[in-house]
Structure 1
Amino acid sequence: MANISIGLIVRFFLMFIAAALIDACAKKAPPASTPPSSTTTAAAAQNTSTPNKMTASNLWNLMGKRLAFIQEGHHGPIIYDFTDTNCPYCHLIYVTEAPLIREGKLTVRYVPVAIIKPSSMPEAAAILQANNPIAALQHAEQEIGNSMTTGKPANLPQATDSIGAAPQKTITAIKKIEVNNKFLQEVNINELPDIIYLPQKGKLGLITGFVSQKQLLALLPKLQ
């Protein structure tokens, strides 16, 4: 693989994921005032052939190297959770996942993206560039939860620069988030939230939309 260009590997990777996720259901992120539906369902992706003989495990590992994420937990199966600070469903899934992480049943790699509002990018960049991104993410989720309860705007830090020249850490964070955004575009995902997982059998799977703790618990035994 060392002789294959990164661009070619990524193209194979994106082609495979796009095909593997064709049957995922989609649900738009609602405005903050809209409560989640209890009837939202999740769909797993169909199996497909792997171009260039790259296995699901190979692609999963490549995904870990290419995407910028904030990991919570070190036990249990790993899932990737794509999240935007302006997506209420993303927050509700965060709340759903939190006890499973604390209990050592699940590890979540939160992939910050910025696709909903103009404020999404500076807020995501502030979290990613923080000295302690996990603490920054937890604080942001607490603020978002408070906002959903009170109806007041969430008080989230934003990566800004008063003199018009962003510091290097902000530029780096923004570039990483842009890579995450591009990944969603390449695999034709334009709605949030999204969870990508690696099952014990078959190819990578996708859940789009709200997922309950009961659904997550039923999925865990099937994951690597």
Structure 2
Amino acid sequence: MPLSSFSIRLALASLLYAGTAAYAAELPAALKALEEQGLSVVGEFDAPGGLKAWGAYSGNQALAIYKLPDGQHMMVGTMIDAKGEEVRPAGLDKLVQPVIAKDMLGKLEKSRWIKDGEDTAPRIVYVFTDPNCPYCMQFWQMARPWVESGKVQLRHVMVGILAPSSSLKSAAILAADNPTQALNEHSLAMLKDRSAGIKGLDSVPSDIEADLTRNEDLMMGWDLRATPAMIWQDEQGRIQMQTGASPDISERVFGPR
């Protein structure tokens, strides 16, 4: 079962499990099964209605897993109150969101990216960038006021997914003596003429090919299917994700001017 099937809409999904060992000693079999399918189980938290619950996540989505009173079944999904409104347990986000942030930011930090902006910038925005993507160049331009004022540092996680030449162009940018300058010059050229920009390498060096593959695996693993795709940590420490480059999302991504 793919990870995307784990969503808050699975309110009625139930899972059998065996064993009564405490979480600290051994996870219930259903939770082990979910972990084997790619879900990350973090720990227990207090849930409304006297239910025992575990917090888990897939990508940047926190999920609640509830143990039913019969002790034989568990449910993954959304709890609804008498008004038909979603009840989101406070303990869930408190438990899971810091783990999500540490996991995703740790993976992004280890990816191959190009820095654009000051190291002292209070906000870091990772952006999956394809050199053939005109919207990536629009996003680069949109970010200039925040980057140049020192408020935001962009970290371009280069990918090559839009066209056969994308990997060759990404490789050329990454292999440049100054990758930041190469990306900036490419972005400016593309904004003037989409057929312009950096010339791709004849072939992708093996080390860069491996890095691009890892970057693309990260992107697809988080169900990000278009570029530019941005990931950042907001003021509350929660991971946020956004795709597209429309001007109306600028303050959401970059913060106030």
Instruction: Provide TM-score, normalisation by structure 2.
Output: 0.59
Tell whether 2:177 aligns with 1:158: no
Q: 1:90 to 1:189 in 2, by over 3 A?
A: same
What's the CA shift string for 1:101-160, capped at 9, x where partnerless?
111121111111111100000000111111111111111112211214xxxx22422122
Report the equivalent of 1:143.
189
For 1:60-209, what aligned pairs fall within 5 Å after superposition? 60-74=104-118, 75-148=121-194, 153-161=195-203, 170-201=205-236, 203-209=238-244
Q: Which structure has the highest strand share of the two?
A: 2
What secondary structure is seen at the aligned counterpart in 1 of 2:143?
helix
Contact 1:12/1:52 (CA < 8 Å) preserved in 2? no
* Higher relative contact order, structure no. (Cα contacts within 8 Å, ≥ 6 residues apart): 1
Contact 2:60/2:239 (CA < 8 Å) preserved in 1? no
**Larger Rg belongs to:** 2
Report the equivalent of 1:28.
none
Q: 1:218 to 1:190 in 2, by over 3 A?
A: closer
Q: 1:108 to 1:121 in 2, by over 3 A?
A: same
- Say which of 208, 215, 221 aligns to 2:249: 215
Contact 1:60/1:198 (CA < 8 Å) preserved in 2? no
What secondary structure is seen at the aligned counterpart in 2 of 1:55?
helix
- Give 1:217's aligned amino acid: E
What secondary structure is seen at the aligned counterpart in 2 of 1:119?
helix
Contact 1:56/1:198 (CA < 8 Å) preserved in 2? no
Q: 1:219 to 1:194 in 2, by over 3 A?
A: closer
TM-superposed deviation, 1:198: 0.5
TM-superposed deviation, 1:76: 2.8
Q: Distance between the aligned counterparts of 1:109 and 1:207, measured in 2?
A: 15
Cα RMSD (Å): 3.3
What secondary structure is seen at the aligned counterpart in 2 of 1:86?
coil
Report the equivalent of 1:20.
61
Contact 1:12/1:51 (CA < 8 Å) preserved in 2? no
Q: Distance between the aligned counterparts of 2:135 and 2:97, measured in 1?
A: 36
Contact 2:146/2:254 (CA < 8 Å) preserved in 1? no
Aligned length: 178
Contact 2:62/2:96 (CA < 8 Å) preserved in 1? no
Q: Distance between the aligned counterparts of 1:159 and 1:18, measured in 2?
A: 33
Percentage of identical aligned residues:
21
Q: Distance between the aligned counterparts of 1:71 and 1:188, measured in 2?
A: 24
What's the CA shift string for 1:7-46, capped at 9, x where partnerless?
x9x9859x94525299xxxxxxxxxxxxxxxxxxxxxxx9
Q: Which residues of structure 1 form unaligned runs of 5+?
A: 1-7, 23-45
Q: Which residues of structure 2 form unaligned runs of 5+?
A: 1-35, 42-55, 64-87
Contact 1:78/1:197 (CA < 8 Å) preserved in 2? yes
Q: 1:178 to 1:99 in 2, by over 3 A?
A: same
Q: 1:137 to 1:98 in 2, by over 3 A?
A: same
Q: Which structure has the highest helix share of the two?
A: 1
